[in-house]
Structure 1
């Protein structure tokens, strides 16, 4: 068997970073301080290392909050309400009860509103 030269073989996997962080910087703190740092790092959606590095280098933390537009939040609320209504109708149908005239009319209204909502979603994302 021949040994392949390690430098000549193809490497797969994660690419090598241009600047590798290989220097360890230790920090002493109390348990309460450590917990507080961990909570703040989690609220910023960063690891503890990233949080402390960012704070030390820039003096501030860029919060990575993902805020959804109010239109999307209102669409989500309407869909949740419709899902609850459909669940109630399905439960009633599965128990062999017939729908009343009012329930049928409400189902038709909900169906039309769902079609309108689908149109709003399409126009929002186009």
Structure 2
């Protein structure tokens, strides 16, 4: 038989329809839970009905990584403010120069911390 193209046939075809009666509130809750699990409503209900649970890997970052991210965000905000001022051709005052020097030191230490964390 000649291949007519198109989507390939699935090994297990899902051709059975199962209607479920629920209230509007229940429907919204099911849809929200399916969305949060990154599944369609059908996939969510099938998985819950068969397995009784949704396996979602917890994606939590280690405390050290969160601390580094917070420090980087803080440094980026400081550098952005100083760059904005310099782009207007304004001179940095003593406090801003000290802040820049401190941020530079913190950034060097952060680089060392990242290296030691990864080793």
Q: Which TM-score band (shorter chain)?
A: 0.7 to 0.9
1:72 aligns with 2:65: yes
What does 1:12-91 align with in structure 2 at a 5 Å threshold? 18-91=11-84
1:104 matched to which residue of 2? 97
- Structure 2: stretches of 5+ with no match in the other structure: none
- Structure 1: stretches of 5+ with no match in the other structure: none
Cα distance change, pair 83–36 in 1 and its aligned pair in 2 (3 A): same
Q: TM-score of the superposition, structure 2-length normalised?
A: 0.78
Paired with 1:15 and 1:120, the residues of 2 have a C-alpha distance of 51
Partners of 1:44 and 1:61 within 8 A in 2 = yes
Shift of 1:58: 1.7
- Give the aligned length: 119
Shift of 1:31: 2.1
Paired with 1:34 and 1:43, the residues of 2 have a C-alpha distance of 14
2:114 matched to which residue of 1? 121
Shift of 1:48: 1.6
Q: TM-score of the superposition, structure 1-length normalised?
A: 0.74
Cα distance change, pair 16–123 in 1 and its aligned pair in 2 (3 A): farther
